[in-house]
Structure 1
Amino acid sequence: MATAAQNDIPPHVPAELVVRLPLYARVNTYDNPQETLIPEMHATLPPICYATNVFPGDQPGWFLRRAEDVQAILRDPDNFTKNGMGKWAQNIGEDWLVIPTEIDPPIHTDYRKALNPHFSPQKMFALKDQIRDRARTLIDEFKDRGECDFIGQFSEQYPVNIVLDLLGLPQERMPEFLEWEKEMLHTNDWQVRGDAVRKVKNYLMEEIQARRQSPRDDYISKVLDFEVDGRKWNEMEVFGHCFNLYLGGLDTVTSLLGNIFNFLAQNPEKQNSLRADPSQTVLAVEEFLRGFAVVTAFRIATREIEIHGQKIMPGEYVTFASPVISRDPEFYPEPQDIRFDRKAPHMALGSGIHKCLGMHLARLELQIAVEEFLAAIPEFRVKDGFRVPYFLGNILHVSDLHLQWN
């Protein structure tokens, strides 16, 4: 399932651990990777291997297959740093950091202290009616047509509407914002990725400057008053945080929704179970987060360390795919089964000090999407004759999904 690569391999890397992983082909496939590729990875890969293509641009790193090993490194920021791990700034020859994603302790604690109250469960729950209205408005556009382009008509627009409102950015520019996001997250071309980073940076810096001159009732204006170390955030700290919200807010929930609704479309008994008892939705969303996690994440070794007897050198990337660890048979009994009563922990939204800042918003968006779609749409299925494409890459997602119902 994985072939040895021809790249230059560091001398401490055993040849038998060198692989090129199909999971990072960064192309569409019509084979569901959750049902085929990921179980095969668990059956054939060792606990750790050196994958030559885990990072965009076919850059290498150590790949951890087991959930238990990933839990350990997520709880060990001393040995595994996130500082600069996304290479966003480096790609365009700069040195800013994505906040709080690329920040290490102790200053990470101060940033989260400023940020957490704005993303608390109570703050996010206060958005419930607004989020529900967004979902209903989008669903009303197609519910009587008997079919929909789920990605284009719902899952791309729904979470992005919320984030653009939060940041005070214009809804009419959504197509352009989504194009930039796709060029950053769903490409293997380093130049395309860098050009998109520049576009996003230039735009956000203009918006930040506009808020300095004329503050508004939006989140960007609030960030200008955040403090760290007894001072207000500087320009690049404000930008680094806004960039983080742009990255997370315009993609992750969209990708999760595509995976979830593709599953529901192909498993009508699961749809009908939730319709019959909507009180299952909260636990069902946690199981969906486990079973349909989308993100591959990274850490960078800060010193020489061993994992399963293999030497990792300082500066080397250590990689884990939440879609893979979420279906680890050594961690989850019968991981391929989607069970609404599982109540199992998962790492789809991170773990440890870097647990996703927007996790409460993401959960609420997913719960409301499931509730409103199932309440408005009768039993649905993948449109007759339509083949579902799955994108293999650092964000594993359904790239197109057409649904129909009677």
Structure 2
Amino acid sequence: MAITNASFPDNVPPELVVDFDFFALDQLGKDDIQLAWATLHDGPDIVWTPHNGGHWIATRADDIGEMEVDYEHFSNKNFNLPRSDYDQHSLPLGLDPPFHTPFRKAIMPAFQPRVIKTLEGIARDTARSLVAKIAPRGECEFVEDFAKVLPINVFLGMVDLPLEHRSFLLEWAEIAVRSSDVALRAEVHAKMRDYLTPYIDARMQNPGDDVLSMVITSDINGRPPSRDEVFGMSTLLLFGGLDTVASQLGFIAMHLARNPQQRRALLEQPQMRARATEELLRRYGLPNTARVLTKDYLYKGIQLREGDMIQLPKCLFGLDDRKNADPLTVDFDRKPSDVKHAAFGSGPHVCPGAVLARRELMVFMDEWLPMIPDFEIDPDKPLIMKSGPVNGVLALPLKWKV
């Protein structure tokens, strides 16, 4: 789009304006979405784009980290771009402290160590079964055949919803986390509410030990959650659980397919896998969440105004050369203290499912590499990546000798 002086507000200095549409990054980096994001590091630390309603972008780790925790100026009540008022109904993510705290406490029991151990066992059994079926074929579309199946089987078990509903739930999740169409996102939220209604009604009458029942029977400052609050927490859990780990698995498998030496090192040195997981999370960041200004605020000489949106791309944190040396290079030998990323956020809204996500990523390495040690991207089939509120690999064709 042509950018003119009329395209941006008067509090935006012209030298900070960029022509950057984060929904169109596949045009900049067909083979590396995160590298397309990193082109912003060639300019100012904070920039403004007229795309998607007009918004600021923080490009450096220190600013992203500060804004994530400064909820007095940078509120979570709008965390998606383009802006949608529906965000405030996504609990607890759409709330700021102290209001978000009891809702976060309501979902935390789902991620206790004993629960994680059980879920890791489900993930491992699922991965073994999938790899046993896939390995003799000599090829697969990794996203459909593995990445979308492993975490979704685990998550639908957590919430005790039918596995046969996986296909349409995944379709809704894809729209919720990557669509630029606000009306379409609102539509799938409404569909999810309609879908969940009979399950929530049944568990209000007869709670079980699943996560939906846990939410229904939780304590919100001395009272049970309202029906709308149950829907808000349940919908957020579902959309988050249905997509994030699947997307991360896609980027990790893509990297290992392109880097046989590192793949072989992970096969021969299993003790390296936890360290490698952190490095891959750093290099291939997913969420591109936003915040909304609660008041006029002069930040590092830039006049931000109440109601302005500012995006905090997590991949730019991990790819910041002021925070990580040689950030575009994946190095499994980095010291743990030298691997700086914000893959799961920070502060009051840090992802409660981070431990489970890490376990599932390592389960993939544990179960896939011994059975399919040498694989590559099939050049005759399309590799598809997409940016949006969450970066993702939509199609990853792999092949290997059998």
Deviation at 1:30, TM superposition (A): 6.2
- State the 1:7 CA deviation: 6.7
Q: Which residue of 1 aligns with 2:145?
A: 153
Query: Can you give the 5+ residue segments of structure 2 that lack an aligned partner in the other structure?
Result: none
* Secondary structure in structure 2 of the residue aligned to 1:338: coil
Query: How far apart, in 1, do the equivalents of 2:143 and 2:32 lie?
Result: 19
More strand by share: 1
Alignment counterpart, residue 281 of structure 1, candidates 254, 270, 273: 273
* Structure 1 residues 395 and 132, CA gap change in structure 2 (3 angstroms): same
Is 2:374 the counterpart of 1:379? yes
After superposition, what is the alpha-carbon deviation per residue over 1:140-186, rounded to whole angstroms, capped at 9, x for unaligned? 22111111110110001111111111111111011111111122222
Alignment of 1:48 onto 2:43: no
Classify the secondary structure of the residue corresponding to 1:332: coil
Q: Displaced runs of 4+ in structure 1, greater than 6 A? A: none
Per mean C-alpha deviation after superposition, the further-off stretch among 181-190 and 269-278 is: 181-190
Residue number in structure 1 paired with 2:387: 392
Structure 2 CA distance for partners of 1:23 and 1:90, relative to 1, 3 Å: closer
The separation in 2 between residues aligned to 1:89 and 1:361, in whole angstroms, is 30
> Could you tell me whether the CA contact under 8 Å between 1:382 and 1:403 is conserved in 2?
yes
CA distance in structure 1 between the aligned counterparts of 2:400 and 2:31, rounded to whole angstroms? 22
Q: Deviation of residue 206 (structure 1)?
A: 2.8
Report how far residue 220 of structure 1 moved. Answer: 0.9
- Matching residue within 153, 178, 181 for 2:173: 181
- In 2 relative to 1, CA 27–284 (structure 1 residues): closer, same or farther, beyond 3 Å? closer
Alignment of 1:326-405 (within 5 A): 326-342=318-334, 343=336, 344-405=339-400
Give, in angstroms, the shift of residue 369 of structure 1.
1.1
User: What's the CA shift for 1:78?
Assistant: 1.5
Distance in 2 separating the partners of 1:176 and 1:31: 27
* In 2, Cα distance between equivalents of 1:132 and 1:209: 32
Q: In structure 1, what residue type is equivalent to 2:393?
A: V
CA RMSD of aligned residues (A): 2.2
Counterpart code for 2:75:
T
Contact 1:70 1:320 in 2 (8 A): yes
**CA 1:155/1:201 → structure 2, altered by over 3 Å: closer, same or farther?**
same
1:11-50 equivalence runs, <5 A: 11-25=10-24, 31-34=30-33, 36-43=35-42, 45-50=43-48
2:75 and 2:291 in contact (8 A); partners too: yes
Partner of 2:123: 131
Task: Tell me how many residue pairs correspond in the alignment.
Answer: 398
- Aligned equivalent of 2:299, options 295, 303, 307: 307
Task: Report if the CA contact (8 A) 1:323-1:396 is conserved.
Answer: no
SS at match of 2:32: coil
Once residues 284 and 396 of structure 2 are traced to their aligned partners in structure 1, the CA distance between those partners, rounded to angstroms, is: 15
CA separation of 1:123 and 1:28: change in aligned 2, threshold 3 A = farther
Q: 1:28 to 1:196 in 2, by over 3 A?
A: farther
User: 5 Å matches for 1:232-311?
Assistant: 232-311=224-303
Report deviation, 1:124. 1.0
In the other structure, the counterpart of 2:218 is: 226
Shift of 1:234: 1.1
* Alignment match of 2:188 (pick from 189, 196, 200): 196
Deviations 1:342-378 (A, max 9, x none): 2213101001111001111111111111211112212
Where does residue 64 of structure 2 map in the other structure?
Answer: 70
Q: Which has the higher helix share?
A: 2
Q: Which residue of 2 aligns with 1:61?
A: 55
2:250 touches 2:392 (CA, 8 Å); kept in 1? yes
